[in-house]
Amino acid sequence: MSDFLVRPAQALKGRLRVPGDKSMSHRAVMFASLAEGQSRISGFLPGEDTVATLNIFRQLGVQAEQQGDSLRIHGVGLHGLKGSGQPLDCGNSGTGMRLLAGLLAGQAFPSTLVGDASLMQRPMARIARPLQQMGAAIELGDADRPPITIQPVAALEGIEYTLPVASAQVKSAVLLAGLYARGETAVIEPRPTRDHTERMLQAFGCPVRVEGSRASLCAPDGLRAQDFTVPADVSSAAFWLVAASIIPGSDLWLEGVGVNPRRDGIIHLLRQMGADIEIHPRGEADAGEPVADLHVRHAPLQGIEVPQAWIANAIDEFPVWFVAAAFAEGESRLSGAEELRVKESDRLAVMARGLQAMGVELEEFEDGIRIAGGTSLQSATVDSAGDHRCAMAFAVAAMAASGGRVCDCDNVNTSYPGFVRQAQAVGATIEVQA
């Protein structure tokens, strides 16, 4: 188990290209594996989560070569996967596990999905219920947690499913099962969530119909191989958007960031707080994903109340947004974000404990938090609970405060390999200590 030892940072300056988008990297591997022909993927995130997904498809008979952030995948077609007699290890990735549950529900072989200690504690009933309505034979472990055991069935049936809670992972799992279902499969969302699955399926040749809050498809004859570039991950860029905003004199350029309108909530939240963020569009990359360079400079921030409509579009970025709120003048409030309690950790509780240790006045609620900003943060030792996003958020807080130690940071490699190296490149001082 490694810790980050962080010293106070002076101005952060320079240009960064953060690693490729994690959500899109998972999906690119999945769809390229199910396509007919050879796909080349550049900008792939070579993190532990996405490599776990890649290794699962290798285990299922897909040939894939990786060199850094480049992949060449030899697709086997929608019905070309081969069963494995061993459990399929998703590592720390809830995205990988949930999407794979939908994809594997329609296969002609049994599968068992497992993960690391953290993932084995995460709830999976919301995935199992709609898939069972489609006729899938899925069993969960104790308390509706992994392992997920899937048995083959004669056929899946398309359904129209209304999500009880906005979740791109559940939506995607149902649509992926729909690739193997009879008739139309449709998902209706209570609020818009990230639409990478819909965009990428269309790029690989599967028509997806989107009408307002309803996305639907019918099982295609097949998917066609694509050459695909994964944009830089806005979730990783978020740490630098906040760091540059709260550290005086900072001036950073973040290159080639995906700015999908269903993923850019953190940019809107920070700009509403007064952040100086310029968006320089580059147009659309592959699969219709908008990409831009982001230019961020230090600016005083003001506390805000987070609009409910923006929560789903910023759900992964709230740990570092809490840090921005701690440095803003005035009070910030978030409610309706109970989803944060069932991520890689209980992110509301983990961030509240760590920020309180650094001297932040706050009040934690079941579905959110109130943060009284404007207090000078003090050096402290804080526990990330093995959550990669909490670890990096605390590192940003320590850079802008009096330094500090962040414990249990190994899982940063799941989403942002090279975080420490890139931090050092723009002027931060972070050491990794065992």
> pLDDT per residue over 28-68, tens digit each?
999 999 999 999 999 999 999 999 999 999 999 999 999 99
What percentage of the chain carries pLDDT values higher than 90? 94
Q: pLDDT tens for residues 147-156?
A: 999 999 999 9
38 conformational bin, left if phi > 0, alpha if psi -120 to 50, beta if neither: beta
Instruction: Give the model's pLDDT for residue 288.
Output: 82
- Taking 90 as the threshold, does the pLDDT of residue 1 lie above it? no
**pLDDT reading at 98 higher than 80:** yes
Instruction: Give the active site residues.
Output: 316
Instruction: Give tens-digit pLDDT for 322-381.
Output: 999 999 999 999 999 999 998 999 999 999 999 999 999 999 999 999 999 998 899 999
Rounded Cα distance between 84 and 106, Å, is 15
Q: How confident is the model at residue 309 (pLDDT cuts 50, 70, 90)?
A: confident
What is the average pLDDT across 126-147? 97
Domains of the chain: 3-20+231-433 (3.65.10.10), 22-229 (3.65.10.10)
Distances (CA, A) of 421 to 5, 241, 399, 432: 13, 17, 14, 10
Q: Is pLDDT at 225 greater than 90 in this prediction?
A: yes
Q: Are strands 368-372 and 361-365 parallel, antiparallel or unpaired?
A: antiparallel
The predicted model gives 167-173 an average pLDDT of: 96
Confidence of residue 121 (pLDDT cuts 50, 70, 90): very high
pLDDT surpasses 90 at 298: yes
- In the predicted structure, residue 241 carries a pLDDT above the cut 90: yes
- C-alpha span between 364 and 346 (Å, rounded): 12
* % residues pLDDT > 70 (the chain): 100
The rounded Cα 81 to chain-centroid distance in angstroms is 26
What's the confidence (pLDDT) of residue 328?
A: 98
Q: Return the C-alpha torsion angle 177, 180, 185, 187, nearest 10.
A: 10
Q: What is the pLDDT of residues 110-120, one digit of tens each?
A: 999 999 999 99
- The pLDDT value recorded for residue 287 is 78
